[in-house]
């Protein structure tokens, strides 16, 4: 059985481990993973100052999101799924939950910077590219898409699919 709950500050190490496993799933070099160590850390202060919701299955964390509320838009700082659950539909459920959370708090748009491996996932649910973030990792150039979603239209299509999955 799957349930949602607010993340506890004490779960920061568990969430950090999940983030690092999920990022490594895409085959990034170990040197890059080391370089991203701080960026791939979920600190207790992040949990305390943002909306962090965990998805559990059989009392085990299988994913979570971190939603940051900005002036005028919601920002999806994190959305991670345990690698063994990638492709099972849990990501869609979690994404539907974060969209609904932002809508319930009065936001009509959500923005995010996606890993290139996740861009297609977000575009399937109506995200459009509004910019690019240019950078490099250990001398290798990287371009990350900055995406925006209209939450009202995205939420409708996600909820129609998500409601078909019973909790």
Q: Residue 167 pLDDT more than 50?
A: no
Q: Which two tokens stand for residue 89?
A: 């539909």
Kindly state the tokens that stand for 26.
Answer: 């895409």
Query: What range defines the domain where residue 12 resides?
Result: 2-162
**Tell me, what DSSP letter sits at residue 85?**
G
Specify the DSSP class assigned to residue 29: -
Query: What's the pLDDT score for residue 153?
Result: 78
55 Cβ contact list (under 8 Å, min separation 6)? 2, 3, 4, 61, 62, 63, 64, 90, 93, 94, 97
Instruction: Say what percent of the chain tops pLDDT 90.
Output: 86
Q: Helices 90-104 and 151-162 sit at what angle, rounded to 10 degrees?
A: 140
Asked, for residue 129, whether it belongs to a domain, the answer is yes
- Residue 164 in this model has a pLDDT that exceeds 90: no
pTM of the model: 0.90
Question: Residue 167: inside a domain, yes or no?
Answer: no
What is the domain-level CATH number for residue 151?
3.40.630.30
pLDDT tens digits, 105-136: 999 999 999 999 999 999 999 999 999 999 99
Averaged pLDDT score across all residues of the chain: 92
Neighbours of 113 (CB within 10 A): 14
Digit-coded pLDDT (tens) for 60-94: 999 999 999 999 899 999 999 999 999 999 999 99
What local confidence, expressed as pLDDT, does residue 163 receive?
44
Q: Considering the domain boundaries, does residue 122 fall inside one?
A: yes
Higher pLDDT, 81 or 157: 81
Return phi, psi of residue 85, to 5°. -110, 0
Question: How many structural domains comprise the chain?
Answer: 1
Inform me whether the pLDDT recorded for 166 exceeds 80.
no
């Amino acid at each position: 059985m799957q349930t949602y709950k607010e993340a506890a500050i004490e779960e920061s190490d568990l969430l950090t481990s999940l983030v690092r496993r999920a990022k490594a799933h895409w085959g990034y070099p170990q040197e890059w993973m080391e370089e991203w160590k701080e960026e791939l850390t979920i600190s207790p202060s992040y949990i305390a100052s943002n909306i962090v919701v965990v998805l559990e299955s059989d009392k085990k964390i299988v994913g979570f999101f971190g939603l940051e509320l900005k002036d005028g838009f919601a920002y999806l700082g994190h959305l991670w799924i345990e690698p063994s659950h990638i492709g099972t539909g849990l990501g869609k459920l979690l994404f539907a939950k974060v969209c609904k959370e932002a809508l319930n708090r009065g936001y009509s748009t959500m923005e995010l910077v996606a890993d290139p491996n996740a861009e297609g996932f977000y575009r399937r649910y109506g995200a459009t590219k509004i910019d690019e973030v240019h950078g490099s990792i250990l001398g290798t150039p990287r371009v990350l898409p900055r995406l925006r979603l209209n939450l009202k239209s995205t939420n409708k299509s996600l909820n129609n699919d998500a409601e078909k999955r019973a909790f």
